[in-house]
Amino acid sequence: MTIQFMEPLNRAWGRMKAALFQPFDLHKWFVVGFNAFLVALMDGNHGSGGGRISKDGNFGAFIHFPREAWLWLQAHPFWATAIIFGIVVAIAVVVVLTWVSSRGVFMFLDNVAHDRAEIAKPWREYQKEGNSLFVWRLLFGLVTFAVIGGILVLFFVWGAAIYDRGWGWDEPVLLIVGLGLAVLAVVLVLSYVVLFLKDFVAALMYKNRISCVAAWRLFLDLFKKYPMHFLGYGLLIFLLMILFVIAVIFAGFGTCCIGFIVLAIPYISTVVTLPVWYTYRAFSLEFVAQFGPEYDVFPKPAAETAAAPAAPAV
């Protein structure tokens, strides 16, 4: 079996052009774009900043920040209550968005697979699969939070203990480098899990009308046979996203920053960049379809169905 990367991408590009430009239908763009917008509700880019480490106590203040924050909250009960309330509200919003996004995954997938623009029908039809995906994503989010939180707790506990007993100039650097490597390894693994979930596991749920756990079993059986192909797929997606970001930057400056303003509007930005997201969704489906008809979610052409031999009469 020959597994290709660029050929499925070319086929996905052709599907996108046929669906969105042949002919161009603005209503279809807004409907399918809305489905893509729902999928992206829980996606985002997060940046991080850095701080200075010196011998004047800046690192000491940083490493003891959790303890100082806890003491401050105890001294300011009103603000402590307000912060807890804000956290509860934020958690509730995240849960709701995760549920809507999980249903949107199958809405967008159905529209791409069948080249149509519908909202209500796939929302109702794939309710069971969407809810299963939602539960899995919710539990996965809790595990992710626990893992990242555990790493940070170890960092602050060990860092404070080392700092309090006195250390050399190189120990803060080693501590931060160790934390960075640990977080990088965890983020890499989690990123692949999220990628496989959205691109392949959801497709198997859609095709076979099964739960998320059952779809993971099917995908992991396939992954064990072709691990490098799927890891290479993730690398290709990463490179394509870099090219997309570069293109957006050039387009933004090329339009005197008007493009940046348009892309800052959540739903409109998804509609404007719909060809990218449509191609990406179709690419994942075309890629996994190479592994056999049991992984192909696209409906067979009518001519091919008609040419199939009829079952013998009994």
pLDDT in tens, the chain (314 residues): 688 999 999 999 999 999 999 999 999 999 999 999 888 887 754 443 444 344 444 555 666 677 777 777 778 888 888 888 999 999 999 999 999 999 999 999 999 999 999 999 999 999 999 999 999 999 999 999 898 888 888 777 777 776 666 655 555 667 677 777 888 888 899 999 999 999 999 999 999 999 999 999 999 999 999 999 999 999 999 999 999 999 989 888 888 888 788 888 888 989 999 999 999 999 999 999 999 999 999 988 755 544 545 444 43
What's the burial of 115, exposed, middle or buried (CB within 10 Å: 0-12/13-18/19+)?
middle
Report helix angle 212-225 to 227-254, nearest 10.
110
Residue 281: predicted pLDDT? 95
Residue 5 in contact with residue 287, Cβ under 8 Å? Answer: yes
Phi-psi region of 201 (alpha: psi -120 to 50; beta: other; left: phi over 0): alpha
Q: Count of domains in the chain? A: 1
Distances (CA, A) of 42 to 26, 38, 105, 146: 26, 8, 11, 19
On whether residue 187 sits in a domain, the answer given is yes
The boundaries of the domain holding residue 243 are: 6-43+56-298
On whether residue 313 sits in a domain, the answer given is no
On whether residue 18 sits in a domain, the answer given is yes
Residue 202 in contact with residue 122, Cβ under 8 Å? Answer: no
Looking at residue 49, its amino acid is G
On whether residue 303 sits in a domain, the answer given is no
Residue 149 in contact with residue 114, Cβ under 8 Å? Answer: no
On whether residue 271 sits in a domain, the answer given is yes
On whether residue 211 sits in a domain, the answer given is yes
On whether residue 73 sits in a domain, the answer given is yes
Phi-psi region of 300 (alpha: psi -120 to 50; beta: other; left: phi over 0): beta
On whether residue 272 sits in a domain, the answer given is yes
Phi-psi region of 127 (alpha: psi -120 to 50; beta: other; left: phi over 0): alpha
Residue 74: predicted pLDDT? 79
Q: What angle do CA 277, 281, 283 make, to 5 degrees?
A: 115
Residue 158: predicted pLDDT? 72
